[in-house]
Structure 1
């Protein structure tokens, strides 16, 4: 799996620095690309790339490890601890029942909690439900990677607040609405309460409209320029993120073909 990743296309999924894009074009394997990013002290880009190049279960496991690492210094609430235990169960055996448990126990977590991002990464591991036959928008397929990266960066930020250098801010992601289970495509007009004239629209046109709205979040992310990080802050973030990236690479070594 890891050997088939288009690294240049991967860089289009997050606010990627020009230097990182140039490195992506020079490497064929994700492990080599991430190593090159780290060599150039592009650690935030390395986190983003690793979050999207690991298999989703491994990426979520990395995010959970990162949240626990932060919790060792900043502390974990009982709800966060319960959520991480539920995530462990899902990682060990990914299925819908365990995913539902994760979503249930994480429902009241604050959005700035790394554990909340871990739960969201788990919840969106199968993408967004769409009518049968509809093409999955890019934003829908990238949500796990986005939330894994957010969990790792937030975890590092939690540690930075405990007398460590502050991690440079990263662009905010668009709010993701709750996505109900998709109705049967034949019942789509009635299910979403369309007006009579809308109900007569071809199904393909309705699906295209739905996909367009889901892609708005991705368009917003792509329109955000990557933050310019001063050299001093870049060195600080490199130091701060090193243990998280080391842990991610250790997990990556268990993925056939990644290294």
Structure 2
């Protein structure tokens, strides 16, 4: 079954133009990855991602200003991000949220930017893709205060079982990256085993967070299949069953066209 990489950074993986994007996605498709969402973390990356999504039918985009870059966030920046986010192949506003691990941006600036991105996602009726690093409580509080968009994805979910329960109860979607395959990530793996299949995605966050057993090596979208296989084993289901479920979730969450197989067995978008 084909699977969707729900969060990657093709530019950071080394793609620069239409040819290199297609080469990277071809490599992913040979491993069973049918589509990818390439995600921006600053304005230059947002411009690139929005364009890259038009170069290959298997590529979609998400745009936002990463919380660590919010110390300067002008009205002109907001206007440009809004124009980019409105484009049809930009399927999410993200990654936005809070990051308390790094001190690149004051928390006040991060909070203001996060609230603005929440409002943008609601105005455009697009999925909100959240970056949450050491900021669970404030993320949850701000979502409640602002009123969450209809669809919220916690990219690279990093919480424990208790936080996963709260997110699931709120109707949020949890996306798991290679960190969920690390054998010392006991709390995260407990959360990954618990999340209802209907509220689950898989991702690479490439070029970061390469899954076990290739941890420490460069990551690319094709590696999402290793995360999926590991999660299937953890949850006691067949990999094809989990692949079908998370692909259907990605189609729903990001409003992607479905993939069908023609008589030759090749996958095609519809």
**TM-score after normalising by structure 1:** 0.27
Give 1 or 2: higher helix fraction.
1
Give 1 or 2: higher strand fraction.
2
Q: Specify the structure having the higher radius of gyration (Cα).
A: 1
**TM-score after normalising by structure 2:** 0.26
Q: Relative contact order (alpha carbons < 8 A, sep ≥ 6): 1 or 2 greater?
A: 1
